[in-house]
Every structure is written in structure tokens, then in C-alpha cells.
Amino acid sequence: MLICLLKYYIELSTPKGGENMEMSLSLRQSPMLELRQALESSLEQSLMVRHELQMAMVLYQKREDVCTRLYKNALKKGMVKQYARHDMQFEFALVRKKDVPEWIWKDCGHAFSHCLMKGWDCFFFGSKYAMARGSWLLFVIHDFHREPMPDSAVGYAAVHERGEMVTLGDHNLASKLEFSIAAKESKLKWYIEWIKQTCPEKFADIFSYQTHFVLPEGEELRQTLEVFQASKEARKVKQLIEEFEWPLTLLKLLKQYDDANRQALGIILDMFLMAGDVAIKANVSVIQTVEHIKAVFQRGFSEMTSQDLKRYLSIVRLEGRWKDQRNELGNKFSEMLTRREKLLGIDRYLRELDAARVTNSLPTDGILSPDFREVLRYI
């Protein structure tokens, strides 16, 4: 409605007739045109944001449907367990890996949670408030690893998800709560060794979600948490998080994993820089270009292997950077193909593509895959 009124105002403000019109346009219409362009640009951005929000809500609803079904099935099978220790009391569902969609456990590992939020809370007051007011479903995939998870590990995984709930999705603080409980039960050393042997990427992932290790401050968050953290349990969780100090041995281990991931990322960025230089050149055949790019990647992976970096890698931390760099490399390769076609002519160019076994883009399998998880198989 506002846009229509402004357009009507612009039309009324536009003078009519001859030279006076041209002079008036140059002196008076330009600011109105700028306003109109700004409004149209703002409208386009608003529509884009709305579209992205709608897409996010679709994905969230898809996850919600899955989690609701999983929880109902766990209830029927008697696999919803009670946790009642350290002044905490909550329920969590034990589920099997084969019943959980791959796109969930790839992102979350052996435990995950989901908040059943009210749409109006989210729309009017923001996601943090909606998460504080929502109901949470907590899950542990008990057969996620080769060996069944020990009861203690299952409990710590459930505590982590409870921590995500109380801190409104803060992965680091949830990890701090998890290790705090292990320390209270005198099992911290055992738990660290179990993680090292079973899921070492967890150490790297602690650094990948947040950068702080203390409860965040802020009036808005404080007011939101007051709604959520009025219970005795929530206050106890906060106390456990605040009182726990990372042991020096664990901090050293976390730093070791952090350093290894920084080093691996440096190698990956160097690989893509060199591969990009190869991809933009149109003076050799397509098959030679592909082979040269593969050789660059193989050297980089050999360097990572020689430095024993693979066992430290955080998929969460690296896959986004890999995908972005891989897309950029693909664009450079496609631009090169366009120049190559003009250089050779269509017949010779098509023969080159056939010999290289590519169509109009860089191959997307093996070490050239945009999926970092697939690439890890070749390191």
C-alpha cells in the first residue's frame, strides 16, 4: 500500500510539457527517482529475506516431522529414558542410526535435539525467545559407532543436548556442561580417552561452533533466559557450566586439534589457489588441465597425510570452506572452457571434452567432489 501511494505521489510531482518539463525533471524528479529506486531495492531485499526465511522454515518443519516421528516410535518401544542426576531431570530418546536420516546424523553425530517452537513466538519475539518457550526433543543414537556406546557416554551425550536446550543452542557451553558432569563423576579421563578412540572430531568441533567458553551476557538474553531458567534445574545447569574449568590436559588436547585444523585449512586454501591458476589457462587441452588440477590436490592431500592431520579434522569446520572454494574453482574452469571452445572451434572442442570425460564443468567425483565428506575418503 505504501509503495502504491509513493508511486502516485511521484506521478503527481512529475511536471507536464516541453522545455519546462525537461528542466523540472533535471531539478526536481531526480530525488524522487532515487527514492523510488531505493524503495524498489528495499522491496526486492525484503522479498529475498522472506524467501530465505520461508525456505528455512520448510527445512525446519521437515526436521520437526522427522524428530516427532522418531520420538513417538521411541515411546512405543519403551526407548525414552529418564535422566535424573546432579539436580537435572529430563527425558531423551534412544534411537537407531538406520532410523535417522543421513542429513541429520551427518551434521549432528551421535546426539541431536530439536525445539518445537511456536511460529508466532518466533515471528514476534525472535528465535531465542521461541526456543526458550518451546518444547525440546532430545535424542541419542546408541548404535552410531562400531561398538555400542557405554552407558556413561550415552548419559553425557544426553546431558550435552540438555545443555543445548538450557543455553538456547550454544554448543560450546553444552560441551562444557557435558565435561563438567564427567568430571563430577570422576570419569573425565576415561571420557576423554573414549572420545579420542571413538569420535575424535568432537574435540575439533568444540572450537567450530562458538569462540567463547563463558555464559554470554546481554540484557536481551538475560530477560529471555529469565523466562526459561526459572527452574531449580536450569539454575543448577548454569552453575555447573560457570564453575567448571577446562583441565589443562583437555585444553592442550583441544589446542592440538584446533592447530591441526588451522594447518589443514591452510593446505586446502593453498591447493585451491594453485588449482585456480591451472584452471584459468586455456593453452593446454582440457584433459591436461583436469589432470594438472588433480595432481595439485593429490600433493596437498599427501602433505596432510604425511603430517597425520586427517584424524584431527573437523568436518563441521572445514566442509563449508571446501564447498565455497570448490564452487569458485568450478566457475574458473567453466570460464576456461568457454575460451577454449572459441579457440578450437566446436568440433575439436567437443572431441577434447569427450577425451577428458567431462561435459561443461569440472568433474564432481573423487578428490574433486564438492562434498568434503566424500573427499576425505581419498586423504
Pick from 339, 257, 258, 267: which is nearest to 302 by CA?
267
As a whole-number percent, the residues of the chain with pLDDT over 70 amount to 74
Specify the pLDDT at position 123: 58
Answer yes or no: is pLDDT of 6 > 80: no
339, three cell numbers? 575460451
Answer yes or no: is pLDDT of 114 > 60: yes
343, three cell numbers? 579457440
Answer yes or no: is pLDDT of 207 > 70: no
Among 44-58, 124-138, 156-170, 179-193, the least confident range:
44-58
Specify the pLDDT at position 323: 93
Specify the pLDDT at position 255: 86
Q: Report the C-alpha gap between 342 and 350 in whole angstroms.
A: 12
- Grade residue 315 by pLDDT with cuts at 50, 70 and 90: confident
Answer yes or no: is pLDDT of 376 > 80: yes
Specify the pLDDT at position 282: 78
Specify the pLDDT at position 23: 37
Among 122-136, 267-281, 360-374, the least confident range:
122-136
Coil, helix or strand for 289? helix
For the residues 295-304, what does the mean pLDDT come to? 94
Beta bridge partners of 82: 91
Answer yes or no: is pLDDT of 22 > 50: no
Degrees to nearest 5, angle at CA 277 with 273 and 282: 155
- Grade residue 34 by pLDDT with cuts at 50, 70 and 90: low
Q: Which residue has the higher pLDDT, 21 or 100?
A: 100
The domain ranges of the chain are 53-246, 255-378
Whole-prediction pTM value?
0.67
Specify the pLDDT at position 267: 95
Whole-angstrom CA distances from 23 to 12, 29, 104, 248, 285 are 16, 10, 63, 76, 59
Let me know: does 174 contact 237? Beta carbons within 8 Å. no
> Phi-psi bin for 357: left (phi > 0), alpha (psi -120 to 50), beta?
left
- Grade residue 10 by pLDDT with cuts at 50, 70 and 90: very low
Degrees to nearest 5, angle at CA 179 with 177 and 181: 70
Q: Which residue has the higher pLDDT, 210 or 144?
A: 144
Beta bridge partners of 80: 93
The residue assigned the cell 594438472 is 292
Specify the pLDDT at position 253: 86
Specify the pLDDT at position 173: 84
Answer yes or no: is pLDDT of 127 > 70: no
Sign of CA dihedral 299, 302, 306, 311: positive
How many C-beta atoms surround the C-beta of residue 28 within 10 A? 12
